[in-house]
Amino acid sequence: MITMDTVLVRGLTWWDQALFPRDEFEERTRAIQRVMAEHDLGALTIWSDYFHTRGDVAYLAGWPMGGVLLLLPEGEPILFSPGGSRERHFAAQQVWCDLRASPGDVVTPLMKAIEDAGLHSRRIGLVGADEIGVESYHRFEEAAKVFQVVDVTDPYRAVRRAKRPREIMAIARSARVAELAIAAGAALVENGPSNAAALVEAERVARREGARDFRGLVNSTGCGLRPFEGLASGEREPLILWAAVDQHGYWGVPTYWSSGPSTRAAHALEAMLSACRPGARVCDMATRALSELPAETHDLALSYGLGSGIGLDLNEAPVITPQNGSLLLSNEVLALQVYAGGTSPSFAMALVRVHGEGFERLGGL
């Protein structure tokens, strides 16, 4: 997959209650509380790095906010944030749940809330264990040793995999911004400036259109795709511009974009899509894409990645690889891509919702 540096997010930060009204989060809460009941959990804790958030917390909090979220079998979630008290006033306006700032230490207030709740079960669920800092993890491990801690990351993410209608709308809106961005970048290159300048223009447009975060790569110098590292970079043809946009926490890529008509990458992408339908094996999509590419370019295509699920995280399950035998689910959203290397590299990407007898393209201008 295309992996990118995770920088500090600084784009539009505002909970759009028309897109995500409170009842949406109440429904999600009830869905997760049913998962808790299935696993006989007295409490569920969901963890995220403070500055580099994962979608797990956002799914219930309403906004990608760092910290630990506590959910009990009844009632609404509580988000314990390690952020400072200065930030609390603004942060509390982004989430629908109770936000409790506890600078530097979320474990102590979390465990107190768990104790105060008087759990019916001594089993505590944990989501995102790898996101917990070393120190916090050891403190949590010590404080929770009277409980049975159960990692329920997989069943939790299984609920998140098929997208809810409002999530699909949000992804489509992000896709629209990504399309505007990439079109602006491509238009700029036609007028002369370098490929690197196209990336700057794409980011400018994305942020003006309301991106919370932006990731972009371009074929500016040397081989392959690169991040922006200054305008001194030269030009390469054709322009290959990869862009992903996060708006309101949801990532999107363009509905469809190709570095040129009828390229190897475009053919491989179409082959991949021909296998895309609910119940299909993920590996079959990968195999079809590779079958359209020369064998010597397979390793590079797989290193860039053939795509994955997309939503509150840029790279979600399922990852499209020849080894992934999992089945596609109805209503999961896939960001698919092919980088076809060789003497004339090409690139194509698409955003689809697995749906009905096949798929539907998502977003669009």
Partner 1 sequence: MTLSLDDPLRRESYDRRLIRLRAAMQEAGIELLIAYGNGRHSFLAMNPAWWLTGFRQLGPHLAVIVTLDDEPRIVTTPLWDRGRAEERSAIKKVIACEPDDFLRTVESEIGPSNWLRASVAVSGGGQMPRPIHEAWREMLGHSIVDADQMVSDLARIRDAWSLKCTRAAVAIAEEGYAFLLETARPGMREHELAAELEAYCRGRGAEDNFQLLSSSQHNRNVHRPTSRIMAEGDVLLGEITPSVEGEFAQICRTVVMGEPTAQQRRAFALLDEALHAGMALAKPGVPVADIVRAMNAPIEAAGYGQYTVPPYMRTRGHSMAMGSTDPEIALQSGHVLAEDVVFVMHPNQYLPETGYFMCGEPVIIRPHGAEPLTSRMGELGSIQSADTLA
Considering only 148, 228, 281, 361, the residue that binds partner 1 (CB under 8 A) is 228
What is the 3 state secondary structure string of the chain? CCCCCCCCCCCCCCCCCCCCCHHHHHHHHHHHHHHHHHCCCCEEEEEECCCCCCHHHHHHHCCCCCEEEEECCCCCCEEEECCCHHHHHHHCCCCCCEEEECCCCCHHHHHHHHHHHCCCCCEEEEECHHHCCHHHHHHHHHHCCCCEEEECHHHHHHHHHCCCHHHHHHHHHHHHHHHHHHHHHHHHHHCCCCHHHHHHHHHHHHHHCCCCEEEEEECCCCCCCECCCCCCCCCCCCCCEEEEEEECCEEECCCEEECCCCCHHHHHHHHHHHCCCCCCEHHHHHHHHHHCCCHHHHHHHHHHCCEEECCCCCCEEEECCCCCCCECCCCCEEEEEEEECCCCCEEEEEEEEEECCEEEECCCC
14 near partner 1 (CB under 8 A): yes
109 near partner 1 (CB under 8 A): no
86 near partner 1 (CB under 8 A): yes
Please report, as residue ranges, which positions from 49 to 78 form the binding site for partner 1 (by CB under 8 A): 51-52
Considering only 18, 116, 192, 232, the residue that binds partner 1 (CB under 8 A) is 232
35 near partner 1 (CB under 8 A): no
Smallest distance from partner 1 to CB 325, Å: 17
201 near partner 1 (CB under 8 A): yes
**Distance of alpha carbon 195 from alpha carbon 236, whole angstroms:** 7
Considering only 133, 238, 260, 278, the residue that binds partner 1 (CB under 8 A) is 133
Considering only 34, 38, 105, 129, the residue that binds partner 1 (CB under 8 A) is 129
Considering only 203, 284, 292, 316, the residue that binds partner 1 (CB under 8 A) is 203
Smallest distance from partner 1 to CB 47, Å: 10
User: For partner 1, which is the closer residue by CB, 198 or 276?
Assistant: 198
Smallest distance from partner 1 to CB 226, Å: 6
187 near partner 1 (CB under 8 A): no
Per-residue interface string for the shown chain with partner 1, residues 303-342, x marking contact by CB under 8 A? xx----------------------------------x---
Considering only 73, 210, 238, 278, the residue that binds partner 1 (CB under 8 A) is 210
Smallest distance from partner 1 to CB 85, Å: 4
Query: Which residues contribute to the site for partner 1 (CB under 8 A)?
Result: 3-14, 51-52, 84-90, 103, 129-130, 132-134, 137, 197, 200-201, 203-208, 210, 222-232, 299-300, 303-304, 339
